[in-house]
A and B are shown apart, each in its own frame.
Chain A
Amino acid sequence: MLNGFTLALVYALVALGLTLIFSIFEIINFAHGEFYMLGGYVTYLGFAVAGLPYLLTLLLAIVVVGLVGLVSERLIFRHLRGKTLNAFIVSLGLLWVLQAGAQLSFGVLDKSVPSAFAGIIRLGGLIISVERFVVVLAAVGLIAVLYAFLQWTRLGRAMRAVAQDPDGAALQGVNIEVVSMVAFAIGCALAGSAGGLLAPLFAVSPAMGALPVVKAFIMIIIGGMGSLPGAVVGGLLLGTVEGLGSLFFSSAAVNVLGFLMVIAVLLVRPRGLFGAA
């Protein structure tokens, strides 16, 4: 169970990025999974190929993917605020560009990334590999850093203001352009960090972003789109349901369960558990 929890936490990072972007831009970025994939490849290149220390490559993944996100925002997404449909197509285009780019650069086969930490920890009756334990710590750490940023820095507070009420925030003198840019970059960086964290566990491949992004969507719908605590809670909830479900049902049935949960939430309480009305 603890291991399912590990995965859910990391996917929650992806979900946080997705929902952060949604809260500012009101668009659904379908290419979000590709930023996750980029983070994985940066870690692969840094750690498996260049032999840099793992934690450094994780940091590198965050920075590089954040920068790519920044560029994407400046060139593409800043023109699409609020335009759900066009943003959907554009993000699809970006998805294809990034995925094809990865395939052409790295080939289509899975590339493995060695484990950064060996060994097993016993906590009471629970057994968890050191590797996964580090992943949990890192994920929790990143979530804590994000929280601190949003609560206690000026830019973070400005971001929350824009998410709640862009016009009001503008009247208060907030620079919407800068805030949006940073938000997008952070959202992508979060996805990249998740990719970097899971790379040693699951290897990297150009199509690796497809599954996490779907899971992230389910999480933010349950938790409430645009809500950051919602993303985390949604993540843990989905992880729990899927973990329990897979004990009794086939994997296909568990997938159906996830989507049925989405439908139920959207019908009964579209704003999710924590979303704004």
Chain B
Amino acid sequence: MRSTQYWKLLLLLPVLLNMSCKKFLDVSSSNQVLEETMFENGEGIRVAVNGVYKMLSTTDLYGRNLTYGVISAMGYNYDINNIPYDYREAARFNWEVSTAQASMEQIWQSAYRTLANCNNIIQAVEAKDTTFFSESANEKNMILGEMYGIRAMLHFDLLRIFCPAPVTGFAGPAIPYVKKYPETQPERLNMPAVFTNIINDLGQSRSLLEKIDTIYLRTVMRSAVGRIRNPGSWIPLPQGDFFNFRAERMNYFAATGLLARVYMYKGDYEQAFQHAKIVYDAHKRNWFTWTSSIYQGQITDVDYIYTKRPDEIVLSFANGQNYNNYDAQTLSSGIANQFYRTPPSYMNKLFEGDLDDYRIVGWYNRYADERYITWMRPKGNSYNATNLAAHQGPLLPVMRFTEMYHILIEYHIRQGNIPEAVSIFNTLRTNRGAKVKILETISAPDLMEKLVKDIIRETMTEGQTFFLFKRLNRNIFNGDNNIIMAPEDWFAPLPLSETNYLL
């Protein structure tokens, strides 16, 4: 080779000169994906949306704290001496103790982390044209509707935990309502403003999701098998599984039901009634159906109990590690195996006069351990037990249609329409196995008392009890002497991770 030809070799080396520098420096790794890469196509956005639900389902939020965890402890669904130490202090409302703060920190931080993700998706999706999505406008609307709904729901739950109840007339600075990402110094809004935002977001969610869940994905939404993932049977959906299992995602009925819940909490009973009625009517048209009595405790075989009553679920999240998480706290040695027990005295008082109610017969003390079986791994190894574990185990129920009954009943009581209230109430009770019918002659306060008990029965260990007392500003029922609540007990102070940086 002649030496003069060698210089051509040199040309091979500075190839990088010709490379586009920008592209060269834009790199990414397999499990650390740059935002630009993530939102490059519709698939990536779907992954980010699933991520939001994953985050909602962690133990910090609905995977424990906001269901069977600290919030149920604060509602006295358990003997508070038999719950994890952190929860005990929270249930005693010793907010100045750091252990009581710990769970509240978890809730606060994870909720806002999830909100940051929501907002980032909303911003990305709003900037995209409908042609970007493989299911065009339907997909875009669905994702936006879901994200607005979740944004409202999380803020609402934070408001319920960290601020005094609206019934006290509190109007001071409440919580920050975060609507964009990144937002480095979110501002605290006062309570009415927070409510306005929540209601706006839920309204927007409803209008975006209405056609999706009542027309576009009607087949999925109408049957329990479509709404909740059941490994044994399913509805094949041409659009793919991202559009399936609507009750495990924010959906039209969930948004509507949540709006009813928000109005109830706010004290706007008329609006609450209007929205609850929509879900109630859907139930009446058999979109949501009662769990058959044999799955509720009519039979003695515990393997048959539908621990999560999936047919009734309007909104639920899912965490495949549910049983493991629960077991981790209850099966460890020492004092921990006493955790999450509810004393018989409490149950007997709660179900006074209705000891044939499935909610005590079917669910309570089935393994002779004074626990409520909602969250427990089925102990049998029958086909039913295994199937149940796979199907219902991961579910984290947030709302059932029965809540609409409660809203309707309370609305009618407040309207003085006792017979209507009793009629609806009796339908509910019959389907829960209570043999004694309530008479129309009952006084309003007595009926209200029965309603409160029924709400507790219905939401045992699912995280709504505490909010019930808070909404009504009543002392907390604990099966013994009620817990007398001081005004400052009702709400957890903002966590240190927030207040340290408030200006």
Q: Tell me if chain B binds chain A.
A: no
Interface residues of A (CB under 8 A from B): none
Interface residues of B (CB under 8 A from A): none
